[in-house]
Structure 1
Amino acid sequence: MKKNFLFFAGLLLTIIQTSAQQNNHKLIYNKPATQFEEALPLGNGRLGVMVYGGVQSERFSLNEATLWAGGPVNPDMNPQAKTYLKPVREALFSENYKKADSLVHFMQGKFSESYAPLGNLFFDFKQQGQPTQYKRELDIQNAMSKVSYTLNGTAYTRETFISHPAQLVVVRFTASGKDKLDFTCRLNSLLHHKVSSNGKVLSMNGHSPIHASPSYYKNEVIWDDVNAMRFTAQVKVLKTDGKFNAKDSTLHISGAREAVIVLSMATSYNGFDVNPGTHGKNELKIAAGYLQKAAPYAKLLKKHTQDFRKYYDRVQLTLGDEDRAEFNTTDRLNAFAAGKNDNALVALYYQYSRYLLISSSRPGGLPANLQGIWNEKVQPPWSSNYTTNINAEMNYWGVETANLPELHQPLLDFIGRLAKNGVVTARNYYGAGGWVLHHNSDIWAMTNPVGDFGKGSPAWANWPMGGNWMATHLWEHYAFTQDAAYLKEQAYPLMKGAVQFCLDFLVADKKGHLLTAPSTSPENNYITPSGYVGALLYGGTADLAIIRELFNDYVKASELLNADPDVRNQVKTALKKMLPYQIGKAGNLQEWYYDWKDEDPHHRHVSHLFGAYPGYSITSSANPELSDAVRKSLTIRTNEGTGWAITWRINLWARMQNGERAYDALKKLLRFVGNGAEVKMNGGGTYANLFCAHPPFQIDGNFGGGAGIAEMLLQSHQGYIELLPAVPVEWKMGQVKGLIARGGYRIDMQWENGKLISAQLKAKKTGDCKIKYRDKTISLSVAAGNAYSLEELL
């Protein structure tokens, strides 16, 4: 009897734990969203939807990744820029920083274009009364939104997913009870558009602006019917047991127990260098083709689930507190902010970062932008562009460790397009070879300095290190995947071009050290001993850290491929001559050439710490003094900041192997700031839908936060794989499966009471590797495809 009781008790516990773990892949709410920061994101890499979950009226805000303002750029827009390079350098080296700041304005160009919102799809329901048992959820394991409630004795459900195989938004409505479905579909847009129907399909056709200025600069939106990007959205009833008709500008369904609606979207985008108006693709034909090929609902769902979970299921993470997984997500955020431990919320946040990347970055498509693919404004924050002095790169910090290498490809492909325009920019602005990229870019692969030809601050407008930072991703993808063909055919030529620009751009100071001039530390300002507050200098630490990383990557790639020994030797020589890292009198890693004060000591950017993360020219094992200086700099900067800035601190503290400080930053990242609340500019957090608050919403914080959690669990940048290098005491127990280390090694591990109890490594290639846990390191000879227990480390 006792054995039977124990058996069933154990079985019940297993069922409860399994249910909790399944729910920990869900965001759950008990009321509809009232604004963007509460709505729930769906995406397939190209199509994006924000689901609001309304009862009387449901709203889907719609995006298509290629719908941008503008058209192909003219990279030759400021041919006089390079004539100012010499005067700027002369002013800098004569210590006349005010003059240099003034002259460099003549080396600016146009602003980037903006990512545009396609529109909205509404479902207006003919039902009155207050619903009961309302539930709105996002299942991130299956990439499905679900809304359910009871109204006047009838249970209603609404399931939505976006199929990558079918390239369709799919919505299934059901009604169970005395009443039936009765609703109208309609479309609208903030862009120029018209809505019509042919009796079966409801269509909205329009076009984006030819230019949309950054919202922080001026309220300017310019329209052009001929050259602008065109778009279409087409709605069709796939299945219903009721009546339906499409008439004028609406589609109506009535008397139904079930209805399945499919939505197709497309644009005329035909490449970064092709006019989308005069030589664009036929967006109407493309969208109609997807509708015509739509399979029955069950088949659409099956293929969608299989497609999504082939990525999502590669990593599993459990940190405890699964009993909280069934609670309302907003309540969990509030409780966590009040000091209630919720490790399951941390695990959910990590998987949510993976979910968002799978939903916004697919092979063959565009990289995730500043808001992923989700944007509702014609002039979105910072144009929802590719901000390349941290944010675009941060989107992909965690992609390789998260076992999603294919999703890195959109960024790597984008680098190839940037290099084509960047060659012209390098020549015209600096008289240099190779290619260059500055602070911002867009779908048109713009590479010039921004600032509207002299109106931008040099602190951000004149920063030429974007291409070099981007190029480090080329090597990182190889380091994790060990794909030799990719390295030779795609990565190496682009790395070589970025290297060539740096070799041409570097100049010597009075002591013979190679450095950059002009230089800035992104968006930060210094104060000279005389009291001048400036941006431009020579030899900024951030520049040199990025170039040092690129040069080291290039040397490794060149040696592996046995390519270009002459260039490789130039790079090695340059590395030896580069201005070394310097430690300031406060014990901090010096940000400027001189030991100047910062205008804002707590500045959100920590670009001068690039060498510690995402780079690794400063490591705790090889550079203990510099690592201490990094720690001091982080202490001075504090763990406060905008959303993405906090995530940079998480990753840096993890690299410095301080789990408690990393966890402190993580707690600040998960600080609930309300539903769309505009928190102060130096204090980010998390919105109700777990979007990161810069503020406002920027998705880089979600991706950077996920990368930071993984960095606390696994590191591989020091020539060995380190297990649990920065796990805080709060994570007493846990299990992770499927994380990837450099070299292509898959790692599974489990720990209890803060101590590793099991670990396994699976090799992608035959060779040798080292694995470290605490004070113990082992060497292992491995064969491709084999798995190895790491019991010696326990």
Structure 2
Amino acid sequence: FQSLYCRVAINLGTTAEAQRALPVDQRLAAIGNGTVDPDMDELLFQMGRYLLIACSRSGTLPANLQGLWNDRNNPPWHADYHSNINVQMNYWLAESANLAECHTPLFDLLTASLVPFRKATKLAYGDDIRGFTIRTSHNPFGGMGWKWNLPASAWYAQHFWEHYAFGGDKKYLETVAYPYLKEVCQYWEDHLKALPDGQLVAPNGWSPEHGDTEDGVSYDQQIIWDLFTNTLEAAEALGTDAEYRKVLSGMRDRLAGPQIGRWGQLQEWMADKDDPKDQHRHISHMFAVYPGRQISLSKTPEFAKAAAVSLEARGFGTVVGWANAWKTALWARLLDAESAYTYYHKEVSANAYPNLWNGCWPGRVFQIDGNFGITAGAIEMFVQSHAGEIHLLPALPKAWATGSVKGLRARGGFEVDIQWKDGELVLATLHSRPGTECTVRYRGKTLHMNIKAGGKSELNEKDLAQLAVDPPKLPRVLVVGDSISMNYHEAAKAALVGTADYYRVEGNGGPSDRGVSNMRLWLGDYTAKGLQWDVIQFNHGLHDLKQSHDKTTDTWGAYQVAIDDYKKNLEKEIVMMKQTGATLIWCSTTPVPNSNPGQYARRKDEDLVFNRAAMEVISRYPEIQINDLNGVVRGSDVFDNWRKGNNVHFKDQEKAVLGKAVADAVVQALKSQDAGPDPD
């Protein structure tokens, strides 16, 4: 026990002797009335670690809703495994709190349950379905309870990945984690549904315990994105499945992504129907912020701000312990230290029993997940490592102005010890088990470090003062486009390294009417410092020109977007994009062959019709530059894929040519900015 428990030490200050002398129930009541008690904050932090050590060890079952501590023949929720937040929260702290060994019982149970999970999945979805999923609750014997929780197996897969991300054990990744991740991916390969515009959505999903069953629920979409991302990184780390990685990457790019709704919120459903007065305990559409990594202030600031709007709307009044724990972690990821501490403090003052067990509803039922989740949330206030950096004291609250913590783990095989005084970091020590490079971030400054295997590096006050300020921002480029822009994305981005920061819209930009609906979202908060757009390349057409085609009579129906509507949509988009002050580039639609008959077919050379229509609009704006990718394709012998059949997409060599053409157009646009306006 001691070998595990003593790995982490924490000091958040000293409680007054009079407060320490009180019985625990009176201490908790005093905290609720405003008494400062840092010793109790420390005790709650270590309580989560103590409980996990006590109830989740090698060769045992994983922690259930009550851990090991049940005094009833009919315990709450049958002391089962609930897969829609609870079991996952039980293990959020395992890696970062330096208890990786305590994580393995979860993997053991899940791999041992694969046969009944597969059988139940085939019974529900047919013999042709690959992979597996599970219901909302399950037990140690392979039995499952109520309502399918379709992304649950993908959420469990995150735990398999995190164990590798923190520890770096390639053998474990190859033999245990990757097979599990890949099999869950296969389920979603077979189960995802394509919308008419090409986006992929999870059908018949459910935001846990909240709302109706419908397609494209944010909870589902975010977890599937996380699954695909983790699986891609796992395959890359192993150097395996190169062709499969291309398939999975393409599917990830087509996933319907996060959306911002009418009151600035992160939408819980595809339809913009969130109620700003709804204070439901479940906040499942926040997965992408924590424990996921799809949304962050540094990489997707507009979505992060929308997540904060949704969190604030959920209110600060919940008495559900696990929900408060989750909100602690979420606010920490959003770098809001005081909001994070508000929920940590609430867990101490309002949700803890006198023995510090977490109350799901205080005074009614013990549920252990909140104990584990609150420790994980506190760690996010001290150290974060999900974004490719080790971020020190990202969300330190004023209540913990002076203190220290030793032995926390960061992704990449690092252990971190930190000391701070009056809110300022004074010493940081990083230990590297495998010997890897890392970037350390503190207060907007970064330092690149390379520590030998088994070695350590210390940063004192002098070192910290000399951390490099983030380099000057490169010009920011946004590409608005459909799946063709997904094709050349990597090539264009690589060609612009060191010249511009290249971004493209989330998922498939689709037809022009979707562009009008989503343009404000895609542009984000472009008035904020560092978020201005310098160049925007835009295109629509590949989906607008689709028609229904009856093969029997060889008759073609109306366009998906009528020509006149297409031109009006482009006009509306241009008006919105011009408000950013960016240089605009119109990118012509690439050639299309005849496609298979059906409701959404394409007819050869209709791209020329839509490009002519687009130029009628673009010609009214002489300041808009033109990138004629259609001409690039038609004028080069390199491009033969589209001529051979019904595929509008391109092969690797062709993607590289398109990517270079896009990069060249961006460079030309940037040069025109440097040259200034043409003389009169």
Asked if 1 retains the 8 angstrom alpha-carbon contact of 2:134 and 2:148, the reply is no
Which of 519, 544, 553 is matched with 2:230 structurally? 553
Give, in angstroms, the shift of residue 507 of structure 1: 0.5
2:393 aligned partner: 724
1:237 aligned partner: none
State how far apart, in whole Å, the 2-side matches of 1:549 and 1:640 are: 30
| Deviation readout 1:536-583 (Å, 9 max, x if unpaired) | 111000001001001000000111112222322221111111101100
Pairing 1:310–2:7 present: no
Pairing 1:411–2:89 present: no
1:59 aligned partner: none
1:442 aligned partner: 139
Give, in angstroms, the shift of residue 688 of structure 1: 1.1
Pairing 1:638–2:638 present: no
Question: For residues 759-774 of structure 1, what are the structure 2 equivalents within 5 Å?
Answer: 759-774=428-443
2:359 aligned partner: 693
Asked if 1 retains the 8 angstrom alpha-carbon contact of 2:277 and 2:313, the reply is no
State how far apart, in whole Å, the 1-side matches of 2:259 and 2:113 are: 33
Give, in angstroms, the shift of residue 462 of structure 1: 3.0
| Deviation readout 1:130-154 (Å, 9 max, x if unpaired) | xxxxxxxxxxxxxxxxxxxxxxxxx
2:412 aligned partner: 743
Asked if 1 retains the 8 angstrom alpha-carbon contact of 2:157 and 2:181, the reply is yes
State how far apart, in whole Å, the 2-side matches of 1:349 and 1:501 are: 39
Pairing 1:420–2:115 present: yes
Which of 320, 342, 345 is matched with 1:664 structurally? 342
Asked if 1 retains the 8 angstrom alpha-carbon contact of 2:435 and 2:455, the reply is no
Pairing 1:383–2:44 present: no
Letter in 2 for 1:360: C
Normalising by structure 1, we get a TM-score of 0.56
Which of 454, 464, 483 is matched with 1:793 structurally? 464
Which of 296, 304, 329 is matched with 1:627 structurally? 304
Pairing 1:615–2:312 present: no
State how far apart, in whole Å, the 2-side matches of 1:425 and 1:563 are: 30
Which of 346, 370, 374 is matched with 2:69 structurally? 374
Give, in angstroms, the shift of residue 424 of structure 1: 1.4
Give, in angstroms, the shift of residue 425 of structure 1: 2.0
Letter in 1 for 2:209: E
| Deviation readout 1:162-213 (Å, 9 max, x if unpaired) | xxxxxxxxxxxxxxxxxxxxxxxxxxxxxxxxxxxxxxxxxxxxxxxxxxxx
Give SS of 2:373's match: helix
2:331 aligned partner: 653
Identify unmatched segments of 5+ residues in structure 1.
1-307, 452-460, 526-534, 673-684
Question: For residues 311-330 of structure 1, what are the structure 2 equivalents within 5 Å?
Answer: 311-323=4-16, 324-330=19-25
Letter in 2 for 1:793: L
State how far apart, in whole Å, the 2-side matches of 1:325 and 1:488 are: 50
State how far apart, in whole Å, the 2-side matches of 1:463 and 1:377 are: 27
State how far apart, in whole Å, the 2-side matches of 1:701 and 1:556 are: 30
2:60 aligned partner: 365
| Deviation readout 1:106-136 (Å, 9 max, x if unpaired) | xxxxxxxxxxxxxxxxxxxxxxxxxxxxxxx
1:339 aligned partner: 34
Give, in angstroms, the shift of residue 599 of structure 1: 9.8
Give, in angstroms, the shift of residue 502 of structure 1: 1.0
Question: For residues 210-221 of structure 1, what are the structure 2 equivalents within 5 Å?
Answer: none
Give SS of 2:310's match: helix
1:570 aligned partner: 247
Q: 1:345 to 1:500 in 2, by over 3 A?
A: same
Aligned-residue sequence identity (percent) comes to 39
Give, in angstroms, the shift of residue 325 of structure 1: 4.2
2:174 aligned partner: 488
Normalising by structure 2, we get a TM-score of 0.66
Asked if 2 retains the 8 angstrom alpha-carbon contact of 1:418 and 1:446, the reply is no
1:779 aligned partner: 448
State how far apart, in whole Å, the 1-side matches of 2:384 and 2:21 are: 32
Question: For residues 157-236 of structure 1, what are the structure 2 equivalents within 5 Å?
Answer: none
State how far apart, in whole Å, the 2-side matches of 1:597 and 1:621 are: 25
State how far apart, in whole Å, the 2-side matches of 1:704 and 1:466 are: 18
Asked if 2 retains the 8 angstrom alpha-carbon contact of 1:749 and 1:756, the reply is yes
State how far apart, in whole Å, the 1-side matches of 2:195 and 2:216 are: 9
Give, in angstroms, the shift of residue 511 of structure 1: 2.2
Structure showing the higher strand proportion among its residues: 1
Give, in angstroms, the shift of residue 445 of structure 1: 2.6
1:509 aligned partner: 195
1:221 aligned partner: none
Give, in angstroms, the shift of residue 322 of structure 1: 4.0
| Deviation readout 1:428-465 (Å, 9 max, x if unpaired) | 21232011112001111335xx34xxxxxxxxx23212
State how far apart, in whole Å, the 2-side matches of 1:320 and 1:690 are: 19
Give, in angstroms, the shift of residue 598 of structure 1: 4.3
State how far apart, in whole Å, the 2-side matches of 1:537 and 1:371 are: 32
Give, in angstroms, the shift of residue 668 of structure 1: 1.6
Q: How many residues end up aligned between the 2 structures?
A: 455
Structure having greater relative contact order (Cα 8 Å, sep ≥ 6): 1
Give, in angstroms, the shift of residue 665 of structure 1: 1.0
Asked if 1 retains the 8 angstrom alpha-carbon contact of 2:83 and 2:149, the reply is no
Give, in angstroms, the shift of residue 326 of structure 1: 4.7
1:433 aligned partner: 130
State how far apart, in whole Å, the 2-side matches of 1:325 and 1:748 are: 27
1:582 aligned partner: 259
Asked if 2 retains the 8 angstrom alpha-carbon contact of 1:438 and 1:465, the reply is no
Asked if 2 retains the 8 angstrom alpha-carbon contact of 1:646 and 1:666, the reply is yes
Which of 392, 395, 402 is matched with 1:733 structurally? 402
Identify unmatched segments of 5+ residues in structure 2.
466-680
| Deviation readout 1:272-294 (Å, 9 max, x if unpaired) | xxxxxxxxxxxxxxxxxxxxxxx
2:91 aligned partner: 396
Letter in 2 for 1:735: S
1:82 aligned partner: none
1:538 aligned partner: 215
State how far apart, in whole Å, the 2-side matches of 1:334 and 1:745 are: 38
| Deviation readout 1:372-428 (Å, 9 max, x if unpaired) | 011111111111100010000000001111111000000111120232222112222
Give, in angstroms, the shift of residue 600 of structure 1: 7.0
State how far apart, in whole Å, the 1-side matches of 2:13 and 2:259 are: 42
Give SS of 2:263's match: coil
State how far apart, in whole Å, the 2-side matches of 1:640 and 1:472 are: 30
2:547 aligned partner: none
